[in-house]
Structure 1
Amino acid sequence: MKLMKTEDAIGQVLCHDITQIIPGVTKDAVFRKGHIITEEDIPVLLSVGKEHIYIWEKDEHMLHENEAAQILYEMCKNDHMHPSEVKEGKIELIAEQGGLLKVDREKLKKVNGLGEMMIATRHGNTCVKKGDKLAGTRIIPLVIEKEKMERAKAVCQDGPILTLKPLHKKKVAILTTGSEVYHGRIEDKFTPVLVEKLKEYDCEMIFHEVYDDDHEAITKGCLQAIEQGAELVLCTGGMSVDPDDRTPLAIKNTGARIVSYGAPVLPGAMFLLSYYQERIPIVGLPGCVMYAKRTIFDLALPRLLADDEITAEELAALGEGGLCLNCPVCTYPNCGFGKGW
């Protein structure tokens, strides 16, 4: 790359896009990389402030910004995503279908720490729709050392930074617990809430029963639901520390591995997560899921439907960002709630 006076650049090849900004009208390239400069181009270049201009000089040790941006894209891309057009050293990644976005944060941090390049993504563990922007990449200078890009590529040699996991339309069982509902003293208002949330993901409720506060019956109900094909079991009620709240014991007695009883999330502190035979989630849902707009259940459900195993460490990390502010107008997921994991 060589810098020369614009008036002397006739016949030379541009090595980068030239952008023209007219407030409220346009922000776009008036000349693209590879354009051969003509005499007629000189006034236009001067009008956008280019009294000197870089022209292309091939250097075997350097990469043009667009070539290097392609490398950043390759480091990020995975199944179910495609690139935007490369422009001024920038490439964006677009979702080809809906799903759960996963981000390898350590790799992302290492690449961004190399300097002269950047990758910005959405938060990981969030749902995206077809056509959503997943990430943007950019090379900062006009040219960059090949050796630096090789170091960046080495960070991702065992896999890309992004993953888009499809959501599965699971068969769901709902076990409503509590003597007050079982004996008809109050109406079951919990199940309709869950059914509506499951509809957002086209899941099918194949099993629903109401149980007294009898932990043995609830245990049998969980196992019966799984025998009937349930791929996700949701138990409502009986999740607090009152002596007659028996749902946690019932779930434990199924033989499921308890990941956590409790989560640093409000609403949703009394959340229980377990895995039966390491593949079927059995979940205990606290009462707040019935009346609060967004809770721990909204954070966990997409991951459960994507077969993305949730660990105790990840649940613990939800403490930062785990406080829902109950805004008058809910903007979730475009807010900080649940962005800690």
Structure 2
Amino acid sequence: MLEKVSVQNAVGTRLAHDITEIRPGEFKGPAFRKGHTVCDGDICHLQKLGKNHLYLLNMEEGEIHENQAAKILAKGLAGQGIEWNDDPKEGKITLHAAYDGILSINIASLAAFNLIDEVMCATQHNNTLVKKGDLVAATRAIPLVMKQAPIERAALIGAHDKGIVSVKPLKNLKTGLVITGSEVYNGLIEDGFAPVLSKKINDLGSRILSVKYAPDDSNHIQQAILNCLDSGCDLIILSGGMSVDPDDVTRTGIQQAGATEMYYGSAVLPGAMFLVAYINDIPLLGVPACGLFHRITVLDLILPRVMAGEHIDKKELAFLGHGGLCMNCKKCTFPHCPFGKGV
């Protein structure tokens, strides 16, 4: 229960909550912390903050304070790879990445959580690459005092799913590259794909184990894939040969190598002719020629998820359509842009 009193009559009482001060462009935070004993010298400062009245807190059975509620909510939200400090500020707790990886948000459970009255959680986008210590989510109970039952109900939504917010670490995958194209194989042009793909792999903490070159011949491509598998590759990336020309036989070579799953085409531009296949549990990613021209393509959306152990199928490639249109900005700011943020 909250009792309203004037600031003059509040002298000697303890604050029931943090009092926020905002100085535009300079400071936003608690001017007075919960539990502070109000003294005569505070009255002018409080009035400048627009506080002519304060609440005295008399908790009734079944009620909970915002700080205690925030702790319960944070515990329910936090999954694997998430850390948070048990020190709410202004009724809010922030959640941070415990290590480098890819952020995973259970979007449906997050919506269910936020549909409960008097609670909220805001997050970064699902599938965002994060570094250790990065802010990934924040939660708070909205009123100063509320019933405990809905708080616990909201927390149970997260606990049931082992957390709504989690971070999946990226695996160190031994990667094989298969560069296709008779023009490269026969030395007519210099290969531009291997350096581009190698940098993407290395930047995500994996390494190149093998680089094979194959002409536009499905049998040669098949053999290059099998050689990568024999050398112990955990991931194989193939470049070129994904279009509709007669010489584009990379898909056939993948099939001949024993693909157990194959999904051709993604709802992303650039990268519509992207391919995902599996030989048993080894993923194969087919990168179309756009990967040479565009700095960022569908590969940059899918590769981190594969390295986090996610199994990509037609559904995942289809859902990329929302937010999957690159605007080809003159100055690319990815990942700080809308590209790939729809899922």
3-state secondary structure, aligned to 2:330: coil
Q: Distance in 2 between matches of 1:313 and 1:258?
A: 13
Cα pair distance change 1:208/1:26, threshold 3 Å:
closer
Q: Does 1:336 align with 2:338?
A: yes
Q: Does 1:261 align with 2:264?
A: yes
3-state secondary structure, aligned to 1:157: helix
Equivalent residues of 2:172, 2:205 under 8 A apart: yes
Cα pair distance change 1:322/1:23, threshold 3 Å:
closer
Q: Aligned AA for 2:15?
A: L
Superposition CA RMSD, Å: 1.5
Q: Aligned AA for 2:88?
A: V
Q: Distance in 2 between matches of 1:31 and 1:192?
A: 56
Q: Distance in 1 between matches of 2:29 and 2:338?
A: 33
1:102 Cα shift?
0.4
Report what 2:103 is aligned to. 101
1:300 Cα shift?
0.7
Matched residues, number: 340
Q: Deviations over 1:26-77 (max 9, x none)?
A: 3222211112222332333223221110122122211111111112211221
1:221 Cα shift?
1.7
1:228 Cα shift?
0.8
1:199 Cα shift?
2.0
Q: Does 1:234 align with 2:234?
A: no
Question: Superposition pairs for residues 1-341 of structure 1, below 5 Å?
Answer: 1-84=2-85, 85-158=87-160, 159-277=162-280, 279-341=281-343
Equivalent residues of 2:21, 2:30 under 8 A apart: yes
Equivalent residues of 2:17, 2:33 under 8 A apart: yes
1:201 Cα shift?
1.7
Q: Distance in 2 between matches of 1:27 and 1:208?
A: 53
Q: Distance in 2 between matches of 1:12 and 1:22?
A: 26
Q: Distance in 1 between matches of 2:253 and 2:25?
A: 63
1:23 Cα shift?
3.1
TM-score of the two chains, using structure 2 as the length reference: 0.95
Cα pair distance change 1:32/1:312, threshold 3 Å:
same
3-state secondary structure, aligned to 1:217: helix
Q: Distance in 1 between matches of 2:7 and 2:262?
A: 66
Gaps of 5+ in 1: none
Q: Aligned AA for 1:175?
A: V
3-state secondary structure, aligned to 2:75: helix
Q: Distance in 1 between matches of 2:294 and 2:154?
A: 44
1:259 Cα shift?
4.3
Q: Deviations over 1:106-163 (max 9, x none)?
A: 1100111112211110111121112211011122111121011122123123220011
Q: Distance in 2 between matches of 1:271 and 1:51?
A: 62
1:315 Cα shift?
1.0
Gaps of 5+ in 2: none
3-state secondary structure, aligned to 1:220: helix
Q: Aligned AA for 2:270?
A: P
Q: Aligned AA for 2:27?
A: T
Cα pair distance change 1:21/1:156, threshold 3 Å:
closer
